[in-house]
């Protein structure tokens, strides 16, 4: 046993290194302004689900029809999650198994379109999500992609041009997947055109799922979308994961066939077991959003609009000016040709966490000209319109006044001391809802 002590010390050092990085990460975000539009934070109850025994178990199949024994308790959780999801989104079908929004999208593509068939999509430079692009899931599936025309001024799909395109190319699917999602999409018009040529319309609500659940955005399933996919960790502040929703039911054989295809696309299509602890946390997130979602979504959008206006007043070029900048949680800034990365690096040095982003006209996603900003996390920690003006001033000082990032970082750390508790979630009777300290 001569090396036991050495091996034990090596193991200890490795473990401590990993734990230290987790603590440093928490400290970093606790002292910063997190404004990445695709991120949010979990409630204590959601986190509790992630450390349950569910995390190491398997449950292939559907409740009551498993390939493994021992799923009795999880079956109840999944059934409750589906029940809550259908209630939250007022629909007849919910699949909570996808392990991400992208997995949900790929499952739908597997279910409803064959390689070589045509789908209409949005260009990446115009705000599309990569899973519906040639480098993502649609490309993996071998789909022929045709891009919708885009209105740069309105930051939206050109309705007349898109309807004309759909009638001309007669696609199998009309995809609405967006990573920059400032305004509601013209779903009524596009779904009518899609159904006229025998196509399905798929709405990727990854970014706006919580706004839809909070009844503060468009309602795609009522506007004609056949399927809505989404991520459960953005404006819906749950665990990282995905879901699929539809208002189709099993009233006819055609409807049954449609839903069977979707089920098969997810399992065994793109999932085996599906992270049971995340499903349990999703169920908690749906319950919390049924209680708090409307107020949270309303404040998130109000904050985004106030923030965009404040940036504009300080001299920034903010997209969507004529339409009030945004009707979602997102803001899109034009920084300068190829300067998005430089701006995001400078901001993070000052304690402001953002991401570079393409804007209309960009061709290089690695050197884009814009920044995408979001208000979900700042709203979650209790900030409102007044704070958005103060945050905009930090942006001005970093990017326009060129003050030293280190000076501003110290000020932001002090500023954040008053914003450390989570809002819009169950807190009574639960310990430690200072989320940055929950490692």
Q: Are 373 and 331 in contact (CB under 8 A)?
A: yes
Beta strands 370-374 and 355-357: pairing type? Answer: antiparallel
Q: Are 162 and 120 in contact (CB under 8 A)?
A: yes
DSSP conformation class of 134: T
Instruction: Determine the average pLDDT of the residues in 362-381.
Output: 94
- Say how far apart CA 156 and CA 169 lie, in whole Å: 20
DSSP conformation class of 158: -
Burial pattern 362-399, b for ≥16 Cβ within 10 A else e, equals beeeeebbbbbbbbbbbbbbebeeebbeebbebbbbbb
- Say how far apart CA 249 and CA 420 lie, in whole Å: 44
pLDDT of 6: 56
Please write the tens of the pLDDT for every residue from 102-136: 999 999 999 999 999 999 998 877 777 777 777 77
- Say how far apart CA 279 and CA 125 lie, in whole Å: 33
Terminal CA-CA length for the chain: 34
Q: Are 63 and 75 in contact (CB under 8 A)?
A: yes
- Spell out the alpha helix ranges (H) of 248-374: 253-266, 276-313, 340-349
Using CA of residue 313, residue 315, residue 321, residue 324, what is the dihedral sign?
Answer: negative
Instruction: Determine the average pLDDT of the residues in 140-159.
Output: 92
| pLDDT range class, residue 437, cuts 50, 70, 90 | very low
Can you give the pTM of this predicted structure? 0.94
Closest by CA position to 127, among listed 173, 80, 78, 180: 180
Task: Tell me the domains of the chain and their CATH numbers.
Answer: 46-282 (3.40.640.10), 294-437 (3.90.1150.10)
Q: Are 375 and 381 in contact (CB under 8 A)?
A: no
pLDDT of 438: 38
Is pLDDT of 4 > 60? no
Phi/psi-derived region of residue 424, left when phi > 0, alpha when psi is between -120 and 50, beta in every other case: left
Tally of CB atoms within 10 A around 339 = 18
| pLDDT range class, residue 428, cuts 50, 70, 90 | low
Query: In angstroms, what CA-CA distances link 380 with 157, 214, 351, 383, 420?
Result: 30, 14, 18, 7, 10
Cis peptide bond prior to 292, omega within 30° of 0: no
pLDDT of 315: 98
- Say how far apart CA 5 and CA 1 lie, in whole Å: 8
Please write the tens of the pLDDT for every residue from 45-69: 999 999 999 999 999 999 999 999 9
- Say how far apart CA 132 and CA 124 lie, in whole Å: 9
Please write the tens of the pLDDT for every residue from 279-299: 999 999 999 999 999 999 999
Is pLDDT of 84 > 90? yes
Is pLDDT of 435 > 50? no
Burial pattern 284-314, b for ≥16 Cβ within 10 A else e, equals bbbbbbeebbeebbebbbbbbbbbbbbbbeb
| pLDDT range class, residue 5, cuts 50, 70, 90 | low
Is pLDDT of 436 > 80? no
Q: Are 356 and 341 in contact (CB under 8 A)?
A: yes
């Amino acid at each position: 046993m001569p090396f036991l002590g050495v091996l034990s010390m090596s193991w200890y050092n490795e473990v401590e290194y990993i734990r230290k990085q987790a603590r440093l990460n928490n400290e970093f975000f606790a002292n910063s302004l997190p404004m990445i539009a695709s991120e949010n934070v979990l409630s204590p109850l959601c986190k509790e689900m992630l450390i349950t025994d569910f995390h190491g178990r398997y449950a292939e199949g559907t409740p009551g029809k498993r390939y493994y024994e021992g799923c009795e308790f999880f079956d109840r959780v999944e059934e409750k999650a589906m029940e809550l999801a259908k209630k939250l989104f007022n629909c007849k079908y919910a699949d909570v198994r996808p392990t991400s929004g992208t997995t949900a999208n790929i499952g739908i593509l597997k279910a409803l379109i064959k390689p070589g068939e045509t789908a209409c999509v949005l260009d990446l430079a115009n705000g599309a999500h990569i899973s519906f692009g040639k480098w993502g899931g649609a490309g993996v599936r071998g789909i022929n992609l045709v891009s919708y025309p885009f209105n740069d001024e309105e930051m939206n799909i050109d309705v007349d041009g898109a309807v004309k395109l759909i009638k001309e190319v007669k696609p199998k699917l009309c995809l609405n997947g967006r990573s920059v999602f400032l305004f509601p999409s013209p779903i009524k018009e596009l779904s009518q055109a899609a159904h006229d040529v025998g196509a399905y319309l798929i709405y990727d609500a990854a970014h706006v799922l919580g706004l839809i659940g909070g009844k503060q955005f468009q309602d795609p399933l009522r506007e004609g979308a056949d399927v809505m996919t989404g991520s459960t960790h953005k404006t819906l502040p749950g665990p990282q994961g995905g879901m699929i929703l539809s208002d189709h039911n099993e009233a006819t054989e055609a409807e049954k066939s449609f839903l069977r295809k979707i089920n098969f696309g997810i399992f065994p299509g793109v999932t085996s077991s599906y992270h049971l602890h995340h499903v349990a946390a999703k169920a908690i997130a749906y319950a919390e959003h049924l209680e708090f979602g409307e107020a949270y979504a309303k404040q998130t959008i109000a904050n985004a609009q106030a923030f965009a206006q404040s940036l504009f007043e300080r001299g920034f070029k903010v997209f969507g000016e004529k339409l009030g900048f945004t009707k979602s949680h997102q803001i899109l800034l034009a920084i300068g040709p190829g300067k998005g990365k430089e701006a995001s690096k400078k901001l993070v040095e000052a304690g402001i966490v953002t991401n570079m982003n393409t804007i209309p006209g960009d061709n290089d996603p690695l050197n884009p000209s814009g920044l995408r900003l979001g208000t979900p996390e700042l709203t979650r920690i209790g900030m409102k319109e007044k704070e958005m003006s103060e945050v905009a001033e930090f942006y001005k000082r970093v990017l326009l006044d060129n003050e030293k990032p280190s000076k501003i970082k110290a000020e932001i750390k002090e500023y954040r001391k008053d914003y450390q508790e989570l809002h819009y979630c169950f807190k009574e009777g639960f310990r430690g809802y200072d989320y940055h300290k929950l490692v």
